[in-house]
Structures are given as structure tokens and as C-alpha cells.
């Protein structure tokens, strides 16, 4: 961005020319060319390719390490390094997903580095910080790396990311969330700091209800449903979407169990399924608690139709030897996601499979989530390079309004437009497929999401 004084001189010069053309009193003519300038602000991206790039914290002239976390970075030793931070959950409720998420993210930047990097730099994610899905530990993890990284490759959890937003704001620290809260799509909430991607939990909740209403495998219509979720912007957002679609479909919500995550009682959740039966229920949990709730109800002989929010499912549920494999593959369980599973036919999926195949045999949906979560951050960094400013402020400016894409894995997204994405991937657990998911509908948008006023703000 040009210094304020220089931009003021340019704008004043243009104003004089306009006055002269209109007979506004300027009597002298000048043959000096006037530079054509496109105004830039925090709300608009850089639009011209700069000759030089300004850098700041988290960017070094020294090359990136060859490997981090046991995964090669693919860094070019002749390039400097852009360091990204990682706030992950290694010991909390999403610990079962953490390794795959991180592997997908590191593999993505290995791929980017092998194809040239970002503006003459390679990219490396630093050692991950364990947040245990706890807001205070999230802040501690952030404080440990805040002076060493240019942006965050991941901040896991909605309440946890909200908890550190003031710190991110003070540092101009942009992050890719591992969270699909609808609020990330609105500047009043994310402050231009959160590089959102994928369909919001709220939209997924709507689409889960609408899709199963039109594709009901039960012998009778769905009439009564339940909702099980964590309190907060994961479960709250999902529940808001389910409620909205329940009204559209004329369903009765028999009960909701949405306590704080620290007070979640598996026996109470499973007990509701047993003592107050419903035709279908809509859970937004961690994979571990999802299996416990479903298993507890199944022991009592209760197996209603289940539509799972994306973070509730783990491909381990359909692997040989898992006690509930038969239940998950029974045709009574479906799962939502913001992106199609590992086997999908897009250029992005193909690049992911080729890269990951060199060091893992897994096809977990969490690998896909980790990989795809980095595409929009890549687009933001590229826009910052184009504008000549890879400082944190420049990265934030680029993130506030730029078109980003993902090699077909997700729809093209214009960041900072105060609207949530609504396209969901609908799947069915299937252990005969490497990812554990049979894709039933790609980029599905139901009637509720289509009719909803997404410009009104977050769902919860």
C-alpha cells in the first residue's frame, strides 16, 4: 500500500485535472503523466503485481526445514520460508482426528512447495501446539508461537478461536479455522481474520434434514426428531439449521440435549433416545462421543435414523473389528461434510491422493478436511504477494476481499461477502470404500438453505 501522504498527493492531482476539465478555475496545464491508482483498504485486495514484496514476522530469508512432524516440507533450499502456526487438539475430544487433519495440512504445503511455493518462498507449518480443545490452553498455545509465524494454518474449534480473536486482531494474525461456524462468513464476527471455507454447520443442518426428508429410508414418514450437540457455536449452529428445516418439513422436535461440552453425559444422551423415541436424530459431537451415544442406545435395542454433522464421523467406524460397524453400515446412518470424500473426481482430490499416497495408506475424511482447509489460505497469501505486502497486515488486507479457489474441491469463494456457503456433501458410511464413505450427493442445497436469508447474519 502506498504511504498516506503519497496517496493524498495523487488523489489531489486527479481532483485538479477534473476541475480543469469542468472549468473549475485551474489555469495552468501540465504535461506530466498522472499515475492511475486503484484505492486499497482493509476491505479490498491488492490489484496490481508489485515489483518488491515487503515481509514481516514469520518470514525468513533462510530456507524452511526439510521436514516437520515427520512429514517432508518439500521446501526449496534456495527459497526463504513462510512459517504458519498450528493450534491442534492432541489430547481432547478431537484427538482421534488431530493427526489426520495435520497430515492433510502438511501434505498440502508439500504439494505447493513442490510446484514453486508462494511468491518465491516455500511454506512450512511449525510444530503443532496442543490446545486440548480448551480455550485457555488455546490461548497458551497461541502465545507460544505468536511471534514466530506469519499466519495460522489451523485454529481448531469455534469457541476456542473466538476466545483468542482479540489477540489475533491485535497481531493482524489471519487463521484458517478447523470449524464451520456460520459466523466466520461475517465481518462483524471474524474481523477479516478468519479465512473460512466450506459449508457452515447451520447450512449442513438444514441440508441434512431436507435431504433425508426427500430420501427417507424408513417405511413411514419422519414426524418426530431429536437433536444432540455441544453447547456453543458448533452444536448451536448445527441445531439452528436443523430447527429451521424441521419447521419447513413439518416435523416435531421432541427434545434437544445441548449441554456444555464439559458437562456432556453420554448416558443421558443415549437415555433420551431410549426413553423418548424419535424417528430420526441429528447429532453434532466428536467421533468418540458419537460412537458412545450410538452404542449406548443400540445396547437397548434403539437405532433410529441418524444424520451426523461432519466432525461426528470417523472412518474407523466402518473398519473391520469395530463393534458398531454393522450399525453404521445399516442404512440408518448418514453423514454431512463440506467437501466430497477422498475418492471424488476433482483436480484437487487427484493432487491430494498423489501427494498423500507417497507417505500414508489412509483415506480418512479428516485428511481431506486438512488438505482442503489450506486452499483459501494459499489464495490469500498469493494475493498478499501480488500486492507486495506479506506482512501480517498485508495478509489480513488480502483476506478481507479476494476470490479464492480449490482446484474444484469446493466452490469458488469471494471472501468477506457476509454470506455463508451452503453446499453440502451427503454420504453414507461404507467400509468397502477406502474413505469409509459412499458419496450420495455432491454440493447439495435443500429448500431450507435456498430460502434462508443468509445476509441476516450468523445462525447462532
Tell me the per-residue pLDDT of 318-375, one tens digit each, with 9 for 90 and over: 999 999 999 999 999 999 999 999 999 999 999 999 999 998 999 999 999 999 999 9
3-state secondary structure of 124: strand
- The grid coordinates listed for 404 are 479464492
Candidates 381, 410, 429; CA nearest to 180 is 410
CA 141 to chain CA mean position, Å: 20
Residue 269 to residue 123: CA distance in whole angstroms: 44
pLDDT value at residue 46: 47
For position 120, what pLDDT does the model report?
A: 96
pLDDT tens figures, 196-245: 999 999 999 999 999 999 999 999 999 999 999 999 889 999 999 999 99
3 state DSSP class of 336: strand
CA dihedral 109, 131, 366, 352 (to 10 degrees): 0
Instruction: Return the pLDDT at 49.
Output: 62
Q: Give the residue among 182, 46, 247 at the shortest CA–CA distance from 457.
A: 182
Centroid of chain to Cα 85: 16
E-strand ranges in 340-416 read: 389-390, 403-404, 413-414
Which has the closest alpha carbon to 396: 187, 198, 233, 199? Answer: 187
Q: Going by CATH, does the domain composed of 201-337+423-456 fall within 3.40.50.720?
A: no
**CATH architecture, range 54-199+343-414:** 3-Layer(aba) Sandwich (3.40)
Distance separating alpha carbons of residues 237 and 241, to the nearest angstrom: 7
Q: What is the pLDDT of residue 15?
A: 26
Contact 137, 335 (CB under 8 A): no
Residue 10's pLDDT is what? 32
What pairing do the DSSP bridges indicate for beta strands 129-130 and 151-156? unpaired
Q: What average pLDDT does the structure give for the chain?
A: 90
**Entry pTM:** 0.87
Q: Phi, psi at residue 430, to the nearest 5°? A: -155, 110
**From edge to edge, which strands make up the β-sheet containing 252-257?**
252-257, 224-229, 280-284, 305-308, 333-337, 424-429, 437-444
Query: How many helices (H) and strands (E) are present in the chain, helices listed first?
Result: 16, 19
Q: Which residues of the chain have pLDDT under 70?
A: 1-50
Cell of residue 363, nine digits: 483415506
Q: Which residues pair with 123 in a beta bridge?
A: 82
Tell me the domain boundaries of the chain: 1-37, 54-199+343-414, 201-337+423-456
Instruction: Tell me the three cell numbers of residue 356.
Output: 498423500
Query: According to the model, what pLDDT value does residue 76 have?
Result: 98
Torsion angle defined by CA atoms of residues 287, 288, 291 and 295, in that order, rounded to the nearest 10 degrees: -170
In the prediction, which pLDDT does 263 show?
96
Q: What is the pLDDT of residues 295-314, one digit of tens each?
A: 999 999 999 999 999 999 99
Q: Among residues 122, 116, 129, which one has the least CA distance to residue 69?
A: 129
Q: What pLDDT, on the 0 to 100 scale, is given for residue 439?
A: 98
Amino acid at each position: 500500500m502506498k504511504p498516506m501522504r503519497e496517496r493524498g498527493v495523487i488523489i489531489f492531482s486527479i481532483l485538479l485535472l477534473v476541475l480543469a476539465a469542468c472549468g473549475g478555475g485551474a489555469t495552468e496545464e501540465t504535461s506530466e503523466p498522472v499515475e492511475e491508482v486503484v484505492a486499497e483498504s482493509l476491505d479490498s485486495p491488492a490489484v496490481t503485481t508489485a515489483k518488491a514484496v515487503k515481509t514481516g514476522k514469520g518470514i525468513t530469508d533462510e530456507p524452511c526445514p526439510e521436514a516437520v512432524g515427520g512429514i517432508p516440507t518439500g521446501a526449496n533450499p534456495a527459497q526463504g520460508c513462510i512459517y504458519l502456526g498450528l493450534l491442534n487438539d492432541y489430547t481432547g475430544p478431537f484427538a482421534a482426528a488431530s493427526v489426520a487433519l495435520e497430515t492433510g495440512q502438511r501434505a498440502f504445503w508439500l504439494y505447493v512447495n513442490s510446484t514453486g511455493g508462494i511468491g518465491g518462498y516455500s511454506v512450512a507449518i511449525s510444530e503443532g501446539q496442543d490446545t486440548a480443545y480448551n480455550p485457555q490452553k488455546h490461548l497458551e498455545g497461541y502465545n507460544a508461537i505468536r511471534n514466530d509465524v506469519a499466519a495460522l494454518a489451523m485454529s481448531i474449534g469455534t469457541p476456542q478461536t473466538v476466545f483468542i480473536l482479540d489477540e489475533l486482531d491485535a497481531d493482524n494474525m489471519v487463521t484458517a479455522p478447523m470449524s464451520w461456524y456460520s459466523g466466520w462468513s461475517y465481518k462483524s464476527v471474524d474481523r477479516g481474520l478468519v479465512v473460512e471455507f466450506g459449508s457452515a454447520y447451520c447450512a449442513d443442518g438444514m441440508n441434512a434434514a431436507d435431504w433425508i426428508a426427500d430420501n427417507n429410508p424408513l417405511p413411514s414418514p419422519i414426524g418426530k426428531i431429536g437433536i444432540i450437540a455441544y453447547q456453543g457455536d458448533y452444536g448451536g449452529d448445527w441445531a439452528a439449521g436443523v430447527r429451521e428445516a424441521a419447521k419447513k418439513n413439518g416435523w416435531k422436535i421432541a427434545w434437544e440435549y445441548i449441554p456444555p461440552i464439559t458437562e456432556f453425559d453420554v448416558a443421558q444422551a443415549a437415555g433420551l433416545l431410549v426413553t423418548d423415541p424419535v424417528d430420526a436424530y441429528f447429532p453434532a459431537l466428536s467421533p468418540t462421543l458419537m460412537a458412545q451415544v450410538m452404542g449406548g442406545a443400540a445396547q437397548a435395542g434403539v437405532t433410529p435414523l441418524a444424520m451426523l454433522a461432519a466432525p461426528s464421523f470417523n472412518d474407523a467406524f466402518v473398519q473391520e473389528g469395530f463393534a458398531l460397524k454393522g450399525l453404521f453400515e445399516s442404512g440408518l446412518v448418514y453423514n454431512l461434510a463440506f467437501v466430497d470424500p477422498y475418492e471424488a473426481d476433482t483436480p484437487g482430490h487427484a493432487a491430494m491422493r498423489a501427494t498423500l499416497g507417497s507417505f500414508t495408506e489412509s483415506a480418512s475424511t479428516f485428511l481431506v478436511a486438512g488438505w482442503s482447509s489450506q486452499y483459501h489460505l494459499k489464495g490469500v497469501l498469493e494475493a498478499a504477494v501480488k500486492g507486495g505486502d506479506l506482512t501480517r497486515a498485508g495478509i489480513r488486507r488480502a483476506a478481507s476481499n479476494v476470490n479464492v479457489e480449490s482446484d474444484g474441491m469446493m466452490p469458488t469463494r469471494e471472501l468477506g461477502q457476509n454470506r455463508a456457503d451452503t453446499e453440502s456433501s451427503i454420504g453414507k458410511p461404507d467400509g468397502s470404500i477406502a474413505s469409509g464413505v459412499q458419496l450420495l450427493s455432491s454440493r447439495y442445497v435443500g429448500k431450507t438453505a435456498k430460502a434462508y436469508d443468509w445476509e441476516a447474519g450468523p445462525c447462532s
